[in-house]
Amino acid sequence: MRTASWITTALAACLVLSLPAASSAEDAAGQDARQAGTEQLAKAAQNPVADMMSVPFQDNIGLGYGPGNGQTQNVLNIQPVIPLHVTEDWNVITRTILPIVTQPSFTGGAATTGLGNLTTTAPRRPARRSP
């Protein structure tokens, strides 16, 4: 009876010890898949004509403006990228740059904030088809 109890205990211990190994193998496979997806998303984000909508912001701060070079100029660029599916074969990727400029006064008054020149490009490209 003692031998059967010992064998049962040993089998139970092996079963318990094998579960975390299987789970960690599944976790590693899932982590690899997530990392591959993250890498593909990073590549698409760097591609200016990727079929992906994004709205990046770019803030440019200029120090040393104005009389005595003691003021600051700020330009916030809002840059939405919007893909449009025109036909089954063609896409248009719109890229817009809308600058919001805060310009210090050169006469000692208050700074002025307003919109800069809007720039839009809309290149067309063939649609990629999934294999």
Q: What is the pLDDT of residues 76-118, one digit of tens each?
A: 999 998 988 888 888 888 999 999 999 988 877 788 999 999 9
Separation CA 103–CA 61 (nearest Å): 11
> Which residues sit opposite 95 in a β-bridge?
81, 121
* Residue 100 and residue 39 in one domain: no
* Residue 97 and residue 122 in one domain: yes
- Amino acid making up residue 47: N
* Residue 57 and residue 42 in one domain: no
Residue 122 has pLDDT above 80, yes or no: yes
* Residue 83 and residue 28 in one domain: no
Q: What does the DSSP 8-state code read for residue 50?
A: -
* Residue 66 and residue 95 in one domain: yes
Highest-pLDDT range among 15-19, 38-42, 73-77: 73-77
* Residue 34 and residue 86 in one domain: no
Residue 63 has pLDDT above 80, yes or no: yes
* Residue 61 and residue 26 in one domain: no
Q: What is the pLDDT of residue 80?
A: 92
Separation CA 65–CA 74 (nearest Å): 10
* Residue 31 and residue 57 in one domain: no
* Residue 56 and residue 42 in one domain: no
* Residue 16 and residue 59 in one domain: no
> By residue range, what is the domain housing residue 98?
51-131
Query: What total number of domains does the chain contain?
Result: 2
Q: What is the percent of the chain where pLDDT is above 90? A: 22
> Which residues sit opposite 48 in a β-bridge?
none
